[in-house]
Amino acid sequence: MTPRRALGFTLPEAMLAALVLSVLAMLALPMLSEMVMTHRVRSASFELLSTLNYARSEAIKRNDTITVAATGPGWESGWRVTEPGGSVVKLQPQLTAGLRITGPGTVVYERDGRLPQTGASALFSVQVEPPRAGVEGRCVRIDLTGRVNSRKGAC
């Protein structure tokens, strides 16, 4: 009769596999954190971009001025889109913690979809707070025609 062979792992083999797995996890954790923060910056900049595009299209559609303003001390605390009477058309709640958005106090779109001053443009900088190496900010820019675009990097 042949001896029966044992199936499975021995305790030293299982401990070695757990050690290797934990070392790999420790190496991947900082990169995962950078990826999450980069995604937050990108999401916040695209939320702002879509709201500004919405405000521009509402100004053209309604043939009236539309204002976009921060709801708190900074843009990261959220923003609102209002019509001239003051009624809120759209409200953006506060963004996740760890972001800082700097830009003008308010953005006003005229009935033609442009900013009020001739040749005016506006810049918004979306960054992580506090700054982290490996996490690049984004710049949201309203150009001369009132169009909004977003790109990587500082403004």
SS3 letters for 8-42?
CCCHHHHHHHHHHHHHHHHHHHHHHHHHHHHHHHH
State yes or no: pLDDT of 118 exceeds 90: no
Rounded mean pLDDT, 7-27: 85
On whether residue 17 sits in a domain, the answer given is no
Confidence of residue 119 (pLDDT cuts 50, 70, 90): low
Query: Does pTM top 0.85 for this prediction?
Result: no
Number of domains within the chain: 1
For 82, phi then psi, to 5°, come to: -125, 155
- Containing structural domain, residue 42: 33-152
On whether residue 14 sits in a domain, the answer given is no
Q: What is the CATH number of the domain that holds 86?
A: 3.55.40.10
Q: Which residues pair with 128 in a beta bridge?
A: 99
Laid out side by side, the sheet with 148-152 consists of 99-102, 122-128, 138-142, 148-152
